[in-house]
Structure 1
Amino acid sequence: MQRRQFLSQLSILTTGACFAQSGAGSYFAGDEAEFAKHIKPVGRALEMEGYYVWCNSPILGEDGLIHVFFSRWDAKKGMGGWIKGSKIAHAVADTPESPFRFVETIFAPRAGFFDATTCHNPLITKVDGKYCLFYMGNSNGKTNTKRIGLAFADSLNGPWTRPDKPLLEAGAEGAWDDHCTTNPAFIKRNGKYWLYYKSWNTKDYETSTDPVVKGNRKYGLAIADKLEGPYIKYEGNPVIDFSYKGNNCQFEDAFVWQEKKKIKMIARDMGFYNHEDGLLMQTKDGYKWDLPKIAYYGAEKYIQQPPPPSYLKKYGRFERPQLLFLNGKPAYLFTASQGGKYMTSSSFIFKIT
């Protein structure tokens, strides 16, 4: 019996058949990215009583500290409070694995502007000698006014020059991206400024029969000659579209970086494999992307958690992946995850070995 089991297992390995992963169903050999083999959980950070914490974007400062720009909102608003009351805050730590210290709230909603009701999706980077904070704001507490903005500062401690107008508008009525622009991902490439953004079509959103996830989220690309724009949308958009798979397969939460001669992207899965994993993709030209592989799995693979309260519907998965670079290489993976000490949400960090 033992011999038969051994031969059976050997056959599975050599033919590339399915392998099981805790909490994430079955996959085929080769579906896992090399990246997934080199992450180890550090644990939760930025657990704040009375708040949901989301969208953690890290960077190494000139002061040697790890700076994180993140979204947070009043826990009384529930998880859905991000759409109508999120603020962007700043925290620092001595190392990526040290406790983070709250510094200040840097962006709060401003009446009369595109970010009048929320400030969310921070992405911090340094470009052309200045710090750039991409983010999303909306003006009516709904998704159809979500727009990407870009703020500047000479120091991670500010002061920040905040935009009066969005960096990128939604498409014309009927376009695939006529609903919003959000979830910014950015690189400078060959002297140009490349902005990847998430959007979807308003009609698809309004006629969707899915009670939880409406519309079909895709990613487009806009390129500018100057950092401050204007950003011109690529005529072949969307560059990432999984709707062909059926079952409302979608894509969101992208983060992009350059490695050697390729652009890489880590993101949250919304149906390609499931809704718990992270995805890793790459491209040579920035337009045509290879099929995704698994970058990380659901929480059950890495940690044990108590049963979730009924109000946490995204419990057990890691969203909004962002990378911390040290010595020019990806060193830590920052994500957002529901649960934690206060059963709201917080940062969850992995070390890349």
Structure 2
Amino acid sequence: MMKKTKNFKLISMQTILQCLTMLLMAVSLSIQANEIKSTDNYNLTEAMQAVSQDNIFYDKEYYNWGSSIVKGDDGRYHLFYDQMPRKHGFFSWLTDGRVSRAVSDSPTGPWEHVQVALEARGDGHWDQYTVHCHKIYKFDGKYYLYYMSTNSGDMKLTPAQLEEVRRSRWKPDNLRGMMRLNQRIGVAVADSVEGPWKRFDKPLFEPEFPIANMSNNTSVTKRPDGGYLMIIRGDQPDQKRDEIIRMQAVLLADHPLGPWKMQPKPVVKDYNSEDPEVWYDAERKRYYSLYHAFGYMGMITSTDGLNWQRAKHYKVSDKSYKTTDGRLVEVHRFERPGIYLENGKPVVMTAGIKMPDGDTHSVFIPLKH
């Protein structure tokens, strides 16, 4: 009887020690989680400053839209920006988009157009129609210009059919619907910010789970542990035929040209959003990604680039911006967000603006840092 009692006491003590060990581990993990969470304190809304006329870029013949900035070897700032001919209408981004380049001594402008950087290559190429939704980066001494393009497959469009695609709204069974499904992401490479740009025979990858149908809206950043991370937008696989539900996915690669490997867990699912802009915040040891959610700008975050959640300061902006003369400019579209970093700090937020009257311009919002 005494022997059984001693064993019982011994077992009880072991159980207590195990419980204490598990409790200490749980406390340690909780502390680590709180430490990680506490680094999520970037407030982009508070960083956004008022906009002057020098921070607005407009073109009489083209709609100016999404923008991205890179600092050249000449020490000047080079703006790459999407354009669509006004004569073909705003929705000609799917057929007639081009990427132009402008220069400035400041990353917030004013900007001076200097050249058309990239246009569609025409029949026989995967990038037959349009060059749009671009991003420009300088990695290891080379310039990488990522972009979206599309084609009409084996079908040769007549001038009337092309005009139909330019002007029509999307339907799953019309020509615009076909061109939309053929959207893919490619890249052009150059040793100089002025070009010439080397392009490739194929897009960087084909859509695969967790996205479906097409790929657009690419954004790339260097990973702190080596390699590169890309966020893209595609369609949700289980959407109905007559609807579009946009979702975002992440790809990894060891080199800016790839091969890019799709990751199984989506970045954003069951929530209509697009135009991701991703960057790594070395100070906070986490990624941030900005996107527009059809009514406002939102920001998500991740410590590993694979598992994403809403940032502490998630909602960044409504469809409006402030001017240096004290006005609040309310807009119809506030899309294609971009973040320009210098010395690892966000210094400019760019966006494509469409006004209630249908006119557009690019805006460059100075960021407090």
TM class by smaller structure = 0.7 to 0.9
Amino acid at match of 1:289: W
* Cα separation, 1, equivalents of 2:264 and 2:342: 35
Q: Check the 8 A contact 1:321/1:336 in 2, yes or no.
A: yes
| 1:187 aligns to 2:221 (yes or no) | yes
Larger CA Rg, structure 1 vs 2: 2
Name the CA shift for 1:150/1:176 in 2 (closer, same or farther; >3 Å): same
**Which one-letter code corresponds to 1:229 in the other structure?**
G
Q: Which of residues 274, 281, 287 in structure 2 aligns to 1:252?
A: 274
Once residues 87 and 239 of structure 2 are traced to their aligned partners in structure 1, the CA distance between those partners, rounded to angstroms, is 31
Structure 2 counterpart of 1:239: 267
State whether residues 59 and 325 of structure 1, in contact with CA within 8 Å, keep that contact through their aligned partners in structure 2.
no
Shift of 1:145: 0.8
Task: Decide which of 278, 281, 291 is 2:300's aligned counterpart.
Answer: 281
Q: Distance in 2 between matches of 1:47 and 1:148?
A: 27
In the aligned structure 2, how far is the partner of 1:205 from the partner of 1:156? 43
Give the 5 Å matches for 1:166-245: 166-171=203-208, 175-189=209-223, 190-201=225-236, 204=239, 206-208=241-243, 215-236=244-265, 238-241=266-269, 243=270
Whichever residue aligns with residue 57 of structure 2, its letter is L
Q: For residues 103 and 82 of structure 1, what CA distance do their matches in structure 2 show?
A: 21
For the structure 1 residues 33 and 295, does the alpha-carbon distance in structure 2 shift closer, same or farther, using more than 3 Å as the test? farther
Aligned position for 1:290: 309
Moved >3 Å (runs of 4+): 300-306
Q: Measure the CA separation in 1 of the matches of 2:264 and 2:238.
A: 21
Residue aligned with 1:42, SS? coil
* Secondary structure of residue in 2 paired with 1:82: helix
Structure 1 vs Structure 2 CA RMSD:
2.2
The 3 A distance-change label for structure 1 pair 339 and 50 is farther
- For residues 97 and 198 of structure 1, the distance between their equivalents in structure 2, rounded to whole angstroms, comes to 27
Give CA deviations for 1:297-321 in whole Å, capped at 9, x if unaligned. Answer: 2216664459xxxxxxxx4342111
- The aligned residue for residue 33 of structure 2 is none
Equivalent residues, number: 292
**Contact 1:52–1:75 under 8 Å retained in 2:** yes
In structure 2, the residue matched to 1:52 is: 63
TM normalised by structure 2 equals 0.74
Question: What whole-Å deviation, never above 9, does each CA across 1:155-199 have from its counterpart, x for those lacking one?
Answer: 11111111221012112xxx5522111111111212222111100
For the residues of structure 2 that align with 1:202 and 1:287, how far apart are their CA atoms? 19
* Aligned-pair identity (%): 27
Aligned counterparts of 1:335 and 1:288: Cα–Cα separation in 2: 26
Q: For 1:18-37, what per-residue CA distance to the aligned partner results, in whole angstroms no more than 9, with x for missing partners?
A: xxxxxxxxxxxxxx962101
- Aligned partners of 1:233, 1:96: CA distance in 2, in Å? 33
CA distance in 2, matches of 1:318, 1:33: 21
1:74-94 CA distance string (max 9 Å, x none): 112221110111011111112
TM-aligned CA deviation for residue 205 of structure 1: 5.7
- 1:202 Cα deviation after fit: 6.8
Structure 2: stretches of 5+ with no match in the other structure:
1-40, 153-175
